[in-house]
């Protein structure tokens, strides 16, 4: 099989201050669909075109942030293999039983060198996107809010960027697609990694604040739908961090905004297709403005400093 | 590595009746870039964002059609492995030396059960897309004509569809994404296969005319650029077969048109992302109209009958 | 005042066979808003961004078609002036009292030489588009169906095209923007007329079937929304006559489809801006294909023959 | 005739510091077409779809800014009438002879209360847009740079906003479409005026700096082309003031950027259609952020302070 190993970002558990206000925001403004709640009070959501049971889990907490990041792998055999590979690499793993997350099989959890908790899993109940599998239609009506396609990628921060980068490349089979070098021209300040044809599935940024999240990103179909997203966010008085604009990195277009708890979210569109025979792009420190915000070539303070 | 084996459709050699008229068409109307000519008189072209030396080879001949279909594989080790797998599966292979195609390494050639000549290769000179790899810009100016992103996929016809489908799935690692069933509800009349995140990299249609091509497709960025493609083709009095329209299959949007020799080409945009944990879609015979042309739900005679 | 006289197509009364099925179609699929019903059982609708009470009136009848075409004029003084001008031109007029149509002032009705009933009116209750007039937002949420901006124009057929053209140009102040000439190179077979900056507010086609309608058109914001319209119509199994495509005439993009009674409707997007210092375009008979359907350069039989 | 009087912004003479660098910028980056040079060394340009000889005149000078603003009127009779109306209103007018501007007839010049020089003219040589008037095509190939449709509107600043507003409404037939009120809830701080179906043809902003220009705007077809404009400007390292974004006022989308001399230009897309029977929108002082930059609801210092 041509696409194997780790398939994609599968789910992420986000801490929110007010659960019901957040459910309202993630369903009516972001436009996800609620698919379940568990005994612990967590709320499960999915984007409309995702076929698995959920991609976002909301947990009420005293401070915003992300509890853990889930990666879907091809099958149980792959899960066992990667667990074994992680251990061989010197990473402690913990196996969580099926069902601890709703409709989800066993998970292999480990801590990345940047302090983030990741988990691999091979099984999650397929609930479909409503189009069916026989003579499917091509659209779902009455999508609410921004209504992205899927959870797309994460940008997360921590000190040992080299450690996390190496772990993802050497053990989990990710490929480096882009990097920003420090002023010394050698040190990676940020790296973009893919496990698929996407320009990125995850990005790590060097930051002394371990285990922090810059944003989780949702995929949007078109630049016009990005405009609608910005219009809708503005109409509902949601704080837009920046956008719509173009990234130099990935060539994608984007809006960044904040959920009611202060977690930054991205609606992302486009980006080139990546294949593992391609060279990565390198950005030098003096061009970081163009790398991130291609049009203005200037970063804003909030984008640089706020993580959760 | 998460993406391995066969990476993508890499090149295709198309027969044209008038070489210079065809070069003019493929460069100025389709908007490919000429990258070389060889001693045999063949002309090599690439789409602007392809990094390898070429994806289209034009050969002058007395009748239109396609000589062979090239699949890029991850590396030389993969090439050897797939050659060995093909032989083990009972498929005769022939190894062609590096350089027979310009800037291309060794190729492993075989005939698929539907009569088409395929070849695998691991090496082709990387010429880049002009953006560079250090602080790249995000656009190339002065693109001509339609200017697609890349060669995207093929639809080809032959009698032993089952044989080709099995070969691509069992040996080459492709995954079935969609199928049209015959009236008996069992026989595949057409299958769509992927070796990546794309909704299709190749489609086989059951047709008694072995070794024929329905179309080669180029990827277009947006629905608005598809409109420009249709406008430009119309302005230049190119015969548009059909479109712009939506496919039920892949959910992509499209225009079909003919090159001056009568080879059908497609400009394709969109389509869902596929992962190997997803179920394929099945279309029943009575819904073939919606499957192919979602809006009108009716096929046209020319689309059904003309192959080269 | 720079824009005076006749302002725009203001309303049209359409005959439908099944009233409730039609209301469902015009509200949920076309996406108009029902604004009232009168004692005669007629249903009034408006497009979301129209500020006046209604633009479409549905009347149950035994056969499809259009009862009359209403043109909004600047003010009561203009209404009186145009009534007087019409009479001076030899056209009989009839004044209908305020309130015969819901929320509508006095109407001056006359028959055009092509047999169509027109009416001028200066007053209709302003109900707004829901955005308000103080610190308005820029979008309405929960728009249903295609949800056009407004009633845009009509194409209507009749024998004495010259008579109607002259009446609209000489008395009502319209300007010719485009024409199709007959094979003789002299006779107008079709004319496009504007009373504003639009490329057309009305088109007359020479046709022995007097007092017939080819289509009423609604304005759509973008080519991407046109695609959504086509997708939605197809999903709901509405008969699409043709499209999405580009017109040579007006340069607009379009889809034609039929309401449940067989009345043809158009969703129209774009078109150039016209000013009265511009020359009209002329299309010769042999280029009628490009004039109407720019991409295919071929008319279809149904488009040519079906009127109501 | 329904559209009479003042038709549209017809030309504007912009002061530039380095003539040839500016011609390069306005042709290759903005994408206008040079149509002539006069004895005074001025360079004349037009947007591709404008049919008259020019809309932008560049004059070399020591400081940036705008010399005068030209309004095209319907015909010579209108020119005479408006000249007479202006005088009757107490405005001094000066008639400039035909030919002083290339290919342009007589101009009636006057100073608006905000200190800006305006001129009315009825005649300018029609050079066409290259599509022709018989069986026209719908696109011009090889458009360069941003390649807007036309000069669209101006935003200009001066102290006696009330005077200019009244002059344009009472004498020139413009209609108020939107206004921003000062904190007192009574004083107009800015007004948007139209002489057509456009949401604005000119805007006046109250500012003690008389006879200053905030920007001249060009019309762009689509939001996607606005993205291309931003990408191209960024690639060429042109200073983008802000955008792409949505205006609350007019609902249009936009990018602001600077020419090499520091004159601010806008690429504008969309905006609602206005008719003189519509009520104007009013924005209160506390909502000025949403009025101007709908998404962020915050103005930037540069946008507020830089005029030329």
What's the pLDDT tens digit per position in A180-223?
999 999 999 999 999 999 999 999 999 999 999 999 999 999 99
Rounded-to-integer distance, Cα A206 and Cα D23, Å: 45
Average pLDDT score over residue span A158-166: 98
Three-class DSSP category at C24: helix
Distances (CA, A) of C285 to B269, C292, D291: 35, 11, 49
Query: Contact C120/C69 with Cβ under 8 angstroms?
Result: no
CB within 8 Å: D232 and B141: yes
Residue count (chain D): 308
Torsion angle in degrees (nearest 10) through CA of A72, A75, A77, A82: -10
Percentage of chain C beyond pLDDT 90 is: 94
Whether B215 is a known active-site residue: answer yes
CB within 8 Å: D136 and C281: yes
Predicted confidence (pLDDT) at residue D141 exceeds the cutoff of 70: yes
Average pLDDT of every residue of chain D: 96
Average pLDDT score over residue span A55-78: 98
Query: Cβ contacts (< 8 Å) between A75 and chain B: which residues?
Result: 277
Nearest-neighbour CA in chain B from A250: distance (Å): 9
Percentage of chain C beyond pLDDT 70 is: 100
Q: For residue A196, give the nearest of B2, B248, B283 by CB distance.
A: B2
Strands across the sheet with A212-219, in order? A240-246, A253-258, A264-269, A212-219, A150-158, A202-206, A188-194, A175-181, A281-283
Predicted confidence (pLDDT) at residue A2 exceeds the cutoff of 80: no
Q: For residue B139, give the nearest of D137, D222, D235 by CB distance.
A: D235
Does domain C150-305 fall into CATH 3.40.50.300?
no
Query: Cβ contacts (< 8 Å) between A234 and chain D: which residues?
Result: 246, 290, 294-297
Predicted confidence (pLDDT) at residue A1 exceeds the cutoff of 60: no
Whether B266 is a known active-site residue: answer yes
CB within 8 Å: D138 and B224: no
Domain boundaries, chain B: 6-121, 150-305
Residue to test with chain D: of B235, B237, B238, most D Cβ within 10 A: B235
Rounded-to-integer distance, Cα D133 and Cα C18, Å: 45
Average pLDDT score over residue span D4-14: 97
Average pLDDT of every residue of chain C: 96
Structure tokens at C52: 């006046």
What is the C-alpha radius of gyration for chain B, rounded to an integer number of angstroms?
18
Rounded-to-integer distance, Cα B201 and Cα B152, Å: 7
Cβ neighbours, 10 Å, residue B282: 19
- Identify the band that residue C1 occupies on the pLDDT scale cut at 50, 70 and 90: low
Nearest-neighbour CA in chain B from C241: distance (Å): 8
Q: For residue C235, give the nearest of A139, A232, A235 by CB distance.
A: A139
- Taking CB atoms and an 8 Å cut-off, how many pairs form between chains C and D? 133
- Identify the residue whose tokens are 């005077």: D163
Helices (H), chain A: 19-24, 76-88, 161-166, 223-235, 288-292, 301-305
Query: Cβ contacts (< 8 Å) between C72 and chain D: which residues?
Result: 277
B154: closest CA among B86, B93, B202? B202
Burial class (CB in 10 A: 0-12, 13-18, 19+), C96: middle
D300: closest CA among D238, D243, D258? D243
- HEC profile of B110-147: EECCCCCEEEEECCECECCCCCCCECCCCCCCCCCCCC
Cβ neighbours, 10 Å, residue B214: 23
Query: Contact C288/C185 with Cβ under 8 angstroms?
Result: no
- Identify the band that residue D1 occupies on the pLDDT scale cut at 50, 70 and 90: low
Rounded-to-integer distance, Cα C269 and Cα C271, Å: 7
Q: What is the pLDDT of residues A103-132, one digit of tens each?
A: 999 999 999 999 999 999 999 999 999 999
CB within 8 Å: B294 and A126: no
Query: Cβ contacts (< 8 Å) between A251 and chain B: which residues?
Result: 138
- Taking CB atoms and an 8 Å cut-off, how many pairs form between chains B and C? 48
Half-sphere exposure in the Cβ direction for C277 (13 Å, CA) = 23
Cβ neighbours, 10 Å, residue C270: 21
User: Closest residue of C to B245, CA-based?
Assistant: C244
Rounded-to-integer distance, Cα D20 and Cα D26, Å: 10
Sign of CA dihedral D172, D176, D181, D185: positive
Neighbours of chain B (3+ CB pairs under 8 A): A, C, D
Rounded-to-integer distance, Cα A226 and Cα A243, Å: 9
Residue to test with chain A: of D220, D232, D234, most A Cβ within 10 A: D234
- Taking CB atoms and an 8 Å cut-off, how many pairs form between chains A and B? 133
Phi-psi region of C40 (alpha: psi -120 to 50; beta: other; left: phi over 0): alpha
Fold match, B6-121 / B150-305: yes
Say what the pLDDT of residue D47 is: 98
User: Closest residue of B to C246, CA-based?
Assistant: B231
Strands across the sheet with C117-121, in order? C33-37, C43-46, C56-60, C6-16, C65-73, C117-121, C107-111, C94-96
Q: Which of A74-88, B15-29, B293-307, D248-262 has the lowest mean pLDDT?
A: B293-307
Query: Cβ contacts (< 8 Å) between A286 and chain D: which residues?
Result: none
A44: Cα separation from own chain's centroid: 16
Residue numbers of C annotated as active site = 153, 200, 215, 247, 256, 266
Positions of chain B with pLDDT lower than 50, given as ranges? none
Rounded-to-integer distance, Cα B131 and Cα A64, Å: 39
Structure tokens at B192: 């769509």
Average pLDDT score over residue span D261-278: 96
Sign of CA dihedral D285, D290, D292, D297: positive
Three-class DSSP category at B83: helix
- Identify the band that residue A172 occupies on the pLDDT scale cut at 50, 70 and 90: very high
CB within 8 Å: A222 and C222: no
Q: What is the pLDDT of residues C257-308, one digit of tens each?
A: 999 999 999 999 999 999 999 999 999 999 999 999 999 898 888 888 889 9
CB within 8 Å: B6 and A2: yes
More confident residue, D304 or B22: B22
CB within 8 Å: C244 and B240: no
- Identify the band that residue D205 occupies on the pLDDT scale cut at 50, 70 and 90: very high
Nearest-neighbour CA in chain D from C135: distance (Å): 5
Q: What is the pLDDT of residues C150-159, one digit of tens each?
A: 999 999 999 9
Nearest-neighbour CA in chain A from B92: distance (Å): 21
CATH fold of B6-121, please?
2,3-Dihydroxybiphenyl 1,2-Dioxygenase; domain 1 (3.10.180)
CB within 8 Å: C138 and D246: yes
CB within 8 Å: C138 and A231: yes
Three-class DSSP category at B189: strand
Say what the pLDDT of residue A181 is: 97
Distances (CA, A) of B12 to A149, A274, B8, B20, B154: 33, 21, 12, 18, 9
- Identify the residue whose tokens are 């009534």: C83
């Amino acid at each position: 099989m041509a696409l194997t190993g780790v398939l994609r970002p599968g789910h992420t558990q986000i801490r929110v201050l007010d659960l019901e206000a957040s459910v309202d925001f993630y369903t009516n403004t972001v436009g996800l669909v609620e698919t379940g709640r568990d005994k612990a009070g967590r709320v499960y959501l999915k984007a409309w075109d995702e076929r698995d049971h959920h991609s976002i889990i909301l947990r009420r907490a005293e401070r915003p942030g992300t509890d853990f990041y889930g990666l879907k792998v091809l099958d149980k055999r792959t899960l066992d293999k990667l667990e074994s590979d992680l251990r061989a690499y010197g990473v402690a793993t913990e196996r969580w039983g099926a069902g601890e997350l709703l409709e989800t099989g066993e998970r292999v959890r480990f801590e990345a060198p940047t302090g983030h908790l990741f988990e691999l899993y091979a099984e999650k109940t397929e609930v479909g996107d409503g189009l069916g599998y026989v003579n499917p239609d091509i659209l779902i009506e009455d999508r609410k809010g921004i209504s992205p396609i899927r959870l797309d990628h994460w940008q997360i921060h921590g000190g040992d960027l080299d450690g996390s980068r190496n772990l993802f490349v050497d053990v989990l089979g990710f490929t480096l697609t882009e990097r920003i070098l420090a002023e010394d021209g050698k040190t990676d300040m940020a790296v973009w990694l893919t496990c698929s044809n996407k320009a990125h599935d995850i990005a790590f940024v060097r930051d002394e604040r371990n285990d922090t999240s810059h944003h989780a990103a949702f995929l949007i179909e078109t630049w016009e739908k990005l405009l609608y997203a910005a219009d809708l966010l503005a109409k509902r008085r949601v704080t837009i961090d920046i956008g719509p604009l173009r990234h130099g990195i990935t060539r994608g277009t984007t809006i960044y905004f904040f959920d009611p708890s202060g977690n930054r979210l991205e609606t992302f569109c486009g980006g080139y297709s990546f294949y593992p025979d391609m060279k990565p792009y390198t950005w030098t420190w003096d061009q970081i403005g163009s790398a991130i915000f291609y049009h203005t070539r200037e970063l804003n303070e909030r984008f640089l400093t706020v993580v959760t």
